[in-house]
Structure 1
Amino acid sequence: MKQLISHQLVRYLEDRGVEHIFGLCGHTNIAVLTALEDSKIRLINTRHEQIAAHAADGYARATKKASVVLSHLGPGLTNAATGVANAALDSIPMVVIAGDIPSYYYGKHPHQEINLHADASQWEIYRPFVKRAWRVDTPELFPEILEKAFQLAESGRPGPVLVNVPMDFFSREIDVSLFTRLRHHTKALQKPSIDDVTAKKIVQALLDAKDPVIYAGGGVILADAAEELRAFAEHLSLPVAHSLMGKGVLPDDHELVLGMTGFWGTKLVNDKCRNADWIVGLGTRFAEADCSSWENEFTFSFPPTKLIHIDIDSNEIGRNYPVEIGVVTDLKNALTVLNRVAREMLPEGRKNDALRKEIAAFRETFVAGNQKFVQDDCFPMMPERILSVVREVLPRDAFITTDVGWNKNGVGQQFPIYTPGSILTPGGYCTMGFGAPAALGAKVAFPDRVVVSLVGDGGFGQNPAVLATAVEENIPVIWVVMNNFAFGTIAGLQKAHYGTTTGTLFRKDGEPYQADFAAVARAYGAEGVKIESAEQFKEVLAQAVKSNKPFVIDVAMKNNPVPTTGHWNILDIYSPNAKVSHVSTD
């Protein structure tokens, strides 16, 4: 028996457990959209493909399963590219299904074909950043390509894949047996683990170490290994530092958490990592900002520090630092074995009350140092006060999405996260415009949890059409727009090094200018409030949480740079040998 590929595709996705597709219509994919009409799969209809990709990214981070993006050809696929690349650099599983020109028009340059260097070559645009890009050239092979796509996206180091389909194939009939046979294939591969000999070697090194540190990256979150990490750290009393992407791997009020490392890190965490004799790197690529541009005097110093690096991707082991013990494995499986072996070798565990007291004392001092900003009644508001109020109002398990600038760097340094996996931030690509649509995906995935996007005015202004989707699809996200009328972080950097702010401030006739985002929200049909005083903010945020509606809070903010004890090599590029910081002095 034969049936249309479009209808068999939808049935296949249903059988895989796919509940949502993020996308935008085009003449190449309407056959699939039609097939979705009577499906239990919910289409999250967006007004721009970048919104679709970022929302799907947020959804995949929240669910820890591959999300699905449906795209049109040409400009549709290139619009989505930034969001897909962002997911790729943060190892987020995603399957992008894109329509393309009819197969029988290759090379004739039909409407929107990309063929400047090869016929029907739009799929090649994604090759530098997806795990695999398929161009489906035979309708009968489409089912098994689709199966391979999901398997590849979710296995090993996760990431996006592209399945590029000529539009006429969606309207072709193929034998149903080609899809049916795929039901016999496993949908979850068994993941590699660590052997006892290697586990004992690692545990013994940590027991013999004088000042060991666990350094946790986003890979721990992706592997759903936070509880295993917590048990391991507590049993051996190991302090836990983390990358930006590893934030929240343990609750920020846990007594062993040091905090985020690198340029935006604090003195305690950077000193502890730099002076450690052994570091266990878990699921981290040791990225530049997290490592103070890999300069030994600021955050890490390998050697003399010895490194144990455990990751699912062998390419990351030894990429930036020499490794004493390198292990390629799934982190959840590895930590399960390490926990068992540690209890066999040291049944009673190890105590380190002095370390706990040191961390607690520093945390108290750090919080006290911010109080003058947290308690400041000035308006525009201090960013520290904005973060403090948001944390006070939200439940511990609320999802937070960030963008770039203060809302990413300041949140990483100062905003407590209490539930693993509840902060979604663009780490590898640092994409402006990620935070607002990513919140849509998180809320779709977990409708019963509060979702707040902390986003700058520059980031929110990238794609305000997220509001149309939120209203149309009834997705009650709260957007807190931290509005400093500028690309603030870059403005401070440019002012510090070059004495100007050209191209970084939003101005009209010499005065600060920005859209009234609260009014924009109301125009779309969402709730919107423009904050007029620092005192008003807490009340409005509580109102937004209670409303259970899409809600924009536009809050004017002072451009008060995030303090830092780390380093970033760009400072030396701008002002060599001058020791100029990222903070303007006037």
Structure 2
Amino acid sequence: MNEKSMKTGGELIVEYLIDEGVKFAFGIPGHGCLGLTDAFYRNKDKIQVIQPKQEMAGVHMAVGYYRVCGKPLVVFTSIGPGAINTTIGLADAFVDSMPVLVITGDTHVHMRGVGVLQEIERKKDSAMPRIIEPVVKRQFELAHVDQVPKVMQRAFNLMMTGRRGPVHIDLPMDIQCAPCYIPLPDPMHRKTLARPRVDPEFIKEAVSMLMNAKRPVLWLGVVVVSSEAFSEVKELAEFVGMPVLTSMMAQDAFPNDHPLFAYATGSKGTKCGIQVSRKADVVLALGTRFADESTCSYKKGVAWNFGPKKEDTRLIQVDIDPHEIGKNYPVDIGIIGDIKAVCRDMLDDLKKTHAKRDYSVMEYFKEIQQYRGEWQQFIQDWAKCDLEPVMISCVLKEVREFLERDAIVVTSSGNVQAQIIQEFEFYEPHTNITAGGFSTMGYTLPAALGAKLAAPNKQVIGLVGDGDFMMTMQELHTAKQLNLNVVLVVLNNAAWMAITDLQRAVYGSERGYATEFFDEKGEIYTPNFAQIAEGFQIWNRRISRNEEIKPALQGAFAQAGPAVIEIMVNRDPNHSGSPAWG
């Protein structure tokens, strides 16, 4: 055999990552990934290793990067605790259909079951992959180094085709260092580049149903974003003259200042959105799961009116994954296909068979404008910006006015996220980066770092509650290491206030237990997060008044590196969040 052609398993993996165009790898080295780490060292001029301070954060960084530029990255960990730390990040990525490759070290193949350091083996030898299996699209457990080339190719294809999602490779320590003489496949010779299309008869049927509708609605989910169907959905809405509703993760799929934009529906949505959705006679749903929060827990007549009766709303549901078709509502036309391709086919058929509507003269359009105006007036009246501490609503208003149209905004679970759905406008694709169906806390800061790596010339801001921030605030260290100008706005109300507000809504205004941060005397306790940022040598400000927000933003974005703005926000139940509508 030719020794020059020999590569270790670790080297094969890293070289394939480079061939796929992967620029960054997030990882915490340990004894369980020593061989793989050394392979990264040998290729350090081609791929940069970034050190998250907890493995979950590394997954969030990779997802933040993908959400902005559409390219998957890799996370690598050691055996045991390091591997298991990825599970929350993987679950978040899996539920939201986000591709990321996670490679975890594991026990030597010939030593499985002996109980080596950090092995879990009482019920099954090297059982750690069982913990990860439910939260990945596919899992590979390698038993021989010759499997590496094919597994790497399959992993990337699976991540990026069909319903996208994370893939896990369990990589034993001996395979990382074992010699292999099998050449790597050319990634381009194994890819599926065509977009799945649908039978033309179903396109014609859907077009006919839409054009015969009196109150059609276009409902967008996050798959519209991953399919890059932005121009198609905009043209489709304008051709038919139908209002557009978006899910939480798809707010950036349609320009929010467009006159056909009708905001979001559901319990965390808007009054405008609910009025539009429950009065629809035909809904074209693109890449959405119809989750409970966007349906008001499926109670008929609140957000939606789908059903078998003649007077019920008709549903055309399009998704890349057959698992979602008809899962939560009965469908009249179920279409499995790529969102961009299906929309393009619908537009082609529409242009052959119908004239484009002048929606500006339609009574339906005028009704939508009334709903939009009423909602915008409500938000304006809701925000009491003379209060101190300031309301979150006022912070969002000041931030939106300050940011450029293509600025990237990152959020996680909590009141901040809920209010952004109702009050914050997005204008460009890939600018709304938020934790979705798994509702993960601790997502904002690491995802914002990933977003900035993907778009170094764009403004990137993270809007995060204090309870959320404390789950991953160690990643300020990573931000400073990379010297990325990510601006983190910490909205401090000394609580997990979204749950406090929920307890009050369910059990009464006096309720609120184990969700607010008190000291031993029963008084509100909060760290000074600006001083914590100072400890990381990061520019910071601590403010509480509305007029201080824009000067702080100006100072933060003027920095070469990261910045933290801590804003003390109102804790009063009347001003701590925003109302639910369903």
CA contact (8 A) 1:298 1:566 kept: no
Shift, 1:207, TM fit: 0.8
Which of residues 340, 356, 366 in structure 1 aligns to 2:348?
340
Are residues 510 and 165 of structure 1, via their aligned partners in 2, closer, same or farther at CA, if it must alter by over 3 Å? Answer: same
Output the CA distance in 2 between the equivalents of 1:313 and 1:141: 28
Equivalent positions of 1:13-28 (< 5 A) are 13-28=17-32
Further displaced range: 321-330 or 114-123? 114-123
Shift, 1:375, TM fit: 5.2
Further displaced range: 425-434 or 1-10? 1-10
Q: Are positions 1:302 and 2:314 aligned together?
A: no
Post-superposition Cα deviations, 1:444-488, rounded to whole Å, max 9, x if no partner, equal 111111110110000001111110001111222111111111000
Further displaced range: 6-15 or 311-320? 6-15
CA contact (8 A) 2:276 2:368 kept: no
- Aligned twin of 1:267: 271
Shift, 1:386, TM fit: 0.4
Output the CA distance in 1 between the equivalents of 2:70 and 2:192: 13
Output the CA distance in 1 between the equivalents of 2:328 and 2:577: 26
Matched AA of 1:118: K
Which of residues 110, 114, 117 in structure 2 aligns to 1:108?
114
Q: Are positions 1:160 and 2:166 aligned together?
A: yes
Equivalent positions of 1:419-568 (< 5 A) are 419-498=428-507, 499-508=510-519, 509-559=521-571, 560-564=575-579, 566-567=581-582
Task: Give me the TM-score of the superposition, normalised by structure 2.
Answer: 0.94
SS across alignment from 1:530: strand
Output the CA distance in 1 between the equivalents of 2:379 and 2:329: 34
Post-superposition Cα deviations, 1:95-147, rounded to whole Å, max 9, x if no partner, equal 11111122221000000001131001211111112111111011111211111
Post-superposition Cα deviations, 1:155-183, rounded to whole Å, max 9, x if no partner, equal 100000100000111111100x332x345
Output the CA distance in 2 between the equivalents of 1:81 and 1:406: 24
- Aligned twin of 1:315: 323
- Aligned twin of 1:575: none
Shift, 1:364, TM fit: 2.9
Q: Are positions 1:361 and 2:364 aligned together?
A: no
CA contact (8 A) 2:272 2:375 kept: no
SS across alignment from 1:424: strand
Further displaced range: 7-16 or 458-467? 7-16
Equivalent positions of 1:30-429 (< 5 A) are 30-37=34-41, 38-175=44-181, 177-179=182-184, 181-183=185-187, 185-303=189-307, 304-353=312-361, 354-374=363-383, 376-429=385-438
Shift, 1:196, TM fit: 2.6
Which ranges in structure 2 are unaligned for 5 or more consecutive residues? none
Shift, 1:213, TM fit: 0.6
Are residues 494 and 374 of structure 1, via their aligned partners in 2, closer, same or farther at CA, if it must alter by over 3 Å? Answer: closer
Output the CA distance in 1 between the equivalents of 2:540 and 2:345: 50
Post-superposition Cα deviations, 1:414-435, rounded to whole Å, max 9, x if no partner, equal 1001112210111110001111
Output the CA distance in 1 between the equivalents of 2:199 and 2:492: 52
SS across alignment from 2:297: helix
Shift, 1:549, TM fit: 1.8
Output the CA distance in 1 between the equivalents of 2:360 and 2:288: 26
CA contact (8 A) 2:390 2:544 kept: no
Shift, 1:394, TM fit: 0.5
CA contact (8 A) 2:461 2:488 kept: yes
Output the CA distance in 1 between the equivalents of 2:254 and 2:33: 43
Shift, 1:350, TM fit: 4.4
The count of corresponding residues between Structure 1 and Structure 2 is 565
SS across alignment from 1:482: strand
CA contact (8 A) 2:540 2:556 kept: no
Further displaced range: 132-141 or 353-362? 353-362
Output the CA distance in 1 between the equivalents of 2:299 and 2:416: 26
SS across alignment from 1:271: helix
Output the CA distance in 2 between the equivalents of 1:58 and 1:72: 22
Instruction: Tell me the C-alpha RMSD between the 2 structures.
Output: 1.5
Shift, 1:2, TM fit: 1.2
CA contact (8 A) 2:391 2:576 kept: no
Output the CA distance in 1 between the equivalents of 2:52 and 2:192: 30
